[in-house]
Amino acid sequence: MEVKIGVQYAPRELVLESNQSPAEVETAVTDAIENGDKGVLNLVDEKGRRVIVPVAKIAYVEIAESSPRPVGFSTAR
């Protein structure tokens, strides 16, 4: 699953692939926001790397299913 996090004053969004379900990510985001501006959003990507973002700096979070990436060339007619 793909998670995009928009961070205030950052030129681009954070994008990570996670093995967590959409419901788990949504719960993590909701819990972090409920803790107020002093909380942090803590997610783990599919390689086990941890992403920690201060809640006060989050602009948006987009949760989507991963789409398969095309590989190679196609000869569409």
pLDDT confidence band for 39 (50 / 70 / 90) = confident
Percentage above 90 pLDDT, the chain: 68
pTM, whole model, 2 decimals?
0.77
Give residue-wise pLDDT tens across range 3-20. 999 999 999 999 999 998
The highest-level CATH class for domain 2-64 is mainly beta
DSSP characters over 21-60 = -HHHHHHHHHHHHHT-TT-EEEEE-TTS-EEEEEGGGEEE
Residue 67: is its pLDDT beyond 90?
no
CA distances (Å), origin 74, targets 3, 35, 59, 69, 77: 28, 49, 38, 13, 9
Amino acid 26: pLDDT: 93
Domain spans in the chain, listed from the N-terminal domain onward: 2-64
Amino acid 9: pLDDT: 92
Distance CA 60, CA 50 (A): 19
